[in-house]
Amino acid sequence: MKDQLLQAIRERKAVVAVVGLGYVGLPLAVAFAERGFPVVGIDVDPQKVAALGRAESYVQDIPSERLAALRERFTATTDYAALAGCDAAIICVPTPLNKTRDPDVRYLISAGESTAQHIHPGMLICLESTTYPGTTEELLLPMLTAPAVLERLGVASFEVGKDFFLAFSPERIDPGRKDFMVENTPKVVGGVTPACLEAAAALYGSAIERIVPVSSTQAAEMVKLLENTFRAVNIALVNEVAIMCDKLGIDVWEVIDAAASKPYGFMKFTPGPGVGGHCIPLDPHYLSWKLKTLNYNARFVQLAGEINTEMPRYWVDKVQDALNEHGKAMKGSTVLVLGVAYKKDVDDVRESPALDIIELLRAKGARVRFHDPYITTLTHNGHGIAGEPDLERALDAADCVVIVTDHSVYDWRDVARRARCLVDTRHVALA
Ligand X SMILES: NC(=O)c1ccc[n+]([C@@H]2O[C@H](COP(=O)([O-])OP(=O)(O)OC[C@H]3O[C@@H](n4cnc5c(N)ncnc54)[C@H](O)[C@@H]3O)[C@@H](O)[C@H]2O)c1
Chain residues binding ligand X by CB under 6 A are 19-25, 42-45, 48, 92-95, 107, 110-111, 128-130, 171, 173, 175, 278-279
Q: How far is the CB of 156 from ligand X (least distance, A)?
A: 29
Q: How far is the CB of 182 from ligand X (least distance, A)?
A: 11
Strand 211-214, strand 187-191: pairing: parallel
Q: Measured between alpha carbons, how far is 334 from 400 in angstroms, rounded to an integer?
A: 7
Residue number with the smallest Cβ distance to ligand X: 22
Nearer to ligand X by Cβ, of 185 and 334: the residue is 185
Q: How far is the CB of 2 from ligand X (least distance, A)?
A: 27
DSSP secondary structure letter of residue 137: I
End-to-end CA distance of the chain: 67
Nearer to ligand X by Cβ, of 298 and 336: the residue is 298
Q: Are 340 and 404 in contact (CB under 8 A)?
A: yes
Q: What is the DSSP string of 277-313?
A: SSSTTTHHHHHHHHHHTTT---HHHHHHHHHHHHHHH
Name the β-bridge partners of 187.
211
Residue/partner pairs of 294-302 with CB below 8 Å, 24 or more apart:
300/229, 300/233, 301/229, 301/232, 301/233
Q: Could you give the 3-state DSSP secondary structure of residue 167?
A: strand
Q: Measured between alpha carbons, how far is 412 from 424 in angstroms, rounded to an integer?
A: 10
Nearer to ligand X by Cβ, of 20 and 161: the residue is 20
CA-closest candidate to residue 157, choices 138, 167, 144: 144
Q: Are 316 and 331 in contact (CB under 8 A)?
A: no
The answer for residues whose C-beta is within 8 angstroms of residue 247's C-beta and 6 or more apart is: none
Active-site residue, 196 included = no
Nearer to ligand X by Cβ, of 135 and 239: the residue is 135
Q: How far is the CB of 92 from ligand X (least distance, A)?
A: 5
Q: What are phi and psi of 124, to 5 degrees?
A: -110, 130
Nearer to ligand X by Cβ, of 23 and 410: the residue is 23
Q: Measured between alpha carbons, how far is 215 from 217 in angstroms, rounded to an integer?
A: 7
CA-closest candidate to residue 338, choices 323, 319, 325: 319
Q: Could you give the 3-state DSSP secondary structure of residue 1?
A: coil
Candidates 92, 279, 400, 421; catalytic one: 279
Q: What is the DSSP string of 356-377?
A: HHHHHHHHTT-EEEEE-TT-SE
Q: How far is the CB of 218 from ligand X (least distance, A)?
A: 17
Nearer to ligand X by Cβ, of 95 and 145: the residue is 95
Nearer to ligand X by Cβ, of 118 and 407: the residue is 118
Q: How far is the CB of 45 from ligand X (least distance, A)?
A: 4
Q: How far is the CB of 27 from ligand X (least distance, A)?
A: 9
Q: Measured between alpha carbons, how far is 127 from 140 in angstroms, rounded to an integer?
A: 9
CA-closest candidate to residue 126, choices 187, 81, 189, 194: 189
Active site residues: 279
